Amino acid sequence: MQGENPLECAKRELREETGILIDDFIEVGRVLHQKHQTYYVNYLCHTDVDKDSIVWYYFDENGRVVTGDQEINVQELHFDENGVQTKGGFATDAEGHKHSYDAKTGDLEDEDGAPVEA
């Protein structure tokens, strides 16, 4: 955001996008884009968080966590009864059909492992 301290912005973005709170950042570079009058600052941080332990939730327009089968931004996704997105696993729908979900994206997969388009 305009006027925001670059380090505070990096911390905020990391927290918003991953839920990870960390203060140990190292500045590794700066770039000034003259035409757009934009100043970029690059940071590096190290964390011991296991990426496979990160879970994803989705909140509806009322701020409530969603559960079950959901179509979100043209993706067919599933969230368990606690609201955790199913990634790299299986879930059974309301009709009793078992479905597979991609390990990285969480996309619903067909029998061949290809994403199912919403």
Average pLDDT per 10 consecutive residues for the chain, totaling 118 residues: 85 86 90 84 86 84 92 93 93 89 90 68
Residue 53 belongs to some domain of the structure: no
The burial class, CB within 10 Å (0-12 / 13-18 / 19+), for 96 is exposed
Residue 96 located in a structural domain: yes
**Has residue 81 been placed in a domain?**
yes
- Number of domains composing the chain: 2
Which of these, 16, 2, 10, 4, lies nearest to 43 by C-alpha position?
Answer: 10
15 within some domain: yes
Q: In this structure, are 41 and 73 located in the same domain?
A: no
Number of other residues whose CB lies within 10 A of the CB of residue 116: 14
State the maximum Cα–Cα separation within the chain, in Å, rounded to a whole number.
58
| pLDDT value for 39 | 81
Q: Is 62 part of any domain?
A: no
* Whether residues 11 and 43 fall in one domain: yes
Q: Are residues 10 and 44 in the same domain?
A: yes
Domain residues for 15?
6-48
